[in-house]
Amino acid sequence: MVTGGGLARAKGVLLDLFREAYQQREHVALICFGGEGVQLRLAPCKASAWSDDWVEPIGGGGGTPLAQALENASNLLAAHGGPAMQGWLWLLTDARTREVPPKPSHADEIRVLDFESGVVRLGRVSSLAKDWGVDCLTL
């Protein structure tokens, strides 16, 4: 996602999602994944105000450990969800991977955002969303 401005667009969307979560007094968590592996960057907590400085260190590039990231997200939703709390998963990716992960079982709602760019588009993000039966938003 580094080339073509995908990472910068994803960071902007991430800030918008966190601002909305803050206004709605929602709980959030953030799992980042890329060449450096899968990292829990923000443990589940009540949303607070964030700025551009907060997302600046989030990197990209390298391999996409998508299956591991989704498994971690599903486990996090299972551990911190409950009957009174609906678990949403927002997946921001270009899906530049050969992995075809299963739909996360503990996500009540899933939104997939396609950040694939460039001349050659593989269409893996939309294919993944279709397999899961969820909407795919192209930015």
Please determine, for residue 117, whether its predicted confidence score (pLDDT) is greater than 90: no
pTM score of the predicted model: 0.88
pLDDT digits (tens, 9 = 90+) for 47-96: 887 777 777 777 776 778 999 999 999 999 999 877 777 899 999 998 88
CB burial readout 125-136, b (16+ within 10 A) else e: bbebbeebebeb
- CB 62: neighbour CB atoms within 10 A? 13
Q: Which DSSP symbol is given to 18?
A: H
- Of the pLDDT bands very low, low, confident and very high (cuts 50, 70, 90), residue 106 is very high
Mean pLDDT of 2-29: 87
Q: Choose between 98 and 128: higher pLDDT.
A: 128
At 19, which helix (H) or strand (E)? helix 6-24
CATH topology of domain 3-138: Rossmann fold (3.40.50)
